């Protein structure tokens, strides 16, 4: 069992690395707004705006570079590893900008998990790993903010329902534009995406379907 599990990890981890690289290329090729890609992808700290507290009352999340990838194994993929290579992998990624403080962050996560790899019941033969959809909340990249004396973590999460093309994003951020007063806000935004899909060719033994959605702005409800 341990050997089979290790084999599966060796197969899937490089594939997810390829998925990440392909998504990044998709982002950079869809130059659909005026924000430089390096500004969107940069992990550097971003100071709060002077009207953060006031803007938080009517905050919005600006979505860009929205991309969903569906990776289906080509015929013969996994035949030399006992069927351990998963038949399907799916991923979601996008950039989100908080209109209250101007902070960008990146969300990129699989839309499920692998299950079922191991020895077959009563046969000793390996069972193929299967892809299980998972529409649960996923953590996005954390960002850092500062009031000049202290540093804070801006935490973001997202969930995408593939069947309904429904996306929700939440975030906790801090405003420090009022002298001597630090205020934390948590907000959530959601909406249905209008996505168009194209054939992305082959990558790492898989056929790729790339789906993208136009940039858009979602109103935020404070929690």
CATH code of the domain covering residue 144 = 2.40.350.20
Cβ–Cβ < 8 Å for 173, 154 = yes
Kindly calculate the radius of gyration of the chain based on its CA atoms and give it in whole angstroms: 20
What is the DSSP-derived secondary structure letter of residue 81?
G
Angle of CA points 106, 155, 176, to nearest 5°: 115
Cβ–Cβ contacts within 10 Å for residue 75, how many? 6
Whole-angstrom distance, CA of residue 126 vs CA of residue 119: 4
* The pLDDT of residue 44: 35
Residue identified by tokens 């969300």 is 107
State how many domains the chain has. 1
Q: Which two tokens stand for residue 133?
A: 């959809």
Please tell me the predicted confidence (pLDDT) of residue 149.
79
Query: What pLDDT is stored for residue 76 in this prediction?
Result: 72
Q: List, for residues 147-173, the tens digit of each pLDDT value.
A: 777 788 999 999 999 889 999 999 999
| Alpha carbon distance 63, 145 (integer Å) | 20
- For residue 177, the enclosing domain spans 2-222
**Tens of pLDDT along 67-76?**
999 988 888 7
Tell me the sheet residues that pair with 138: 158
């Amino acid at each position: 069992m341990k050997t089979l599990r290790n084999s599966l990890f060796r197969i899937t981890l490089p594939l997810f690395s390829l998925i990440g690289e392909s998504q990044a290329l998709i982002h950079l090729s869809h130059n659909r707004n005026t924000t430089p890609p390096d500004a969107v992808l940069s992990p550097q700290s971003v100071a709060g705006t002077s009207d953060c507290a006031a803007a938080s009352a009517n905050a919005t999340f600006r979505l860009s570079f929205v991309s969903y990838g569906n990776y289906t194994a080509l015929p013969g993929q996994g035949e030399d590893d006992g069927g351990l290579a998963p038949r399907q992998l799916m991923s979601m990624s996008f950039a989100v900008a908080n209109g209250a403080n101007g902070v960008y962050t990146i969300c990129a996560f699989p839309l499920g998990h692998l299950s079922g790899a191991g020895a077959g019941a009563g046969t000793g033969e390996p069972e193929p790993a299967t892809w299980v959809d998972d529409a649960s909340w996923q953590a996005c990249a954390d960002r850092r903010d500062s009031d000049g004396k202290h540093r804070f973590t801006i935490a973001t999460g997202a969930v995408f329902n593939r069947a309904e093309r429904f996306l929700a994003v939440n975030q906790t951020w801090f405003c420090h534009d009022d002298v001597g007063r630090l205020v934390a806000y948590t907000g959530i935004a959601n909406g249905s995406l209008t996505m168009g899909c194209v054939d992305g060719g082959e990558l790492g033994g898989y056929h790729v379907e790339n789906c993208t959605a136009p940039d858009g702005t979602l109103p935020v409800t404070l929690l």
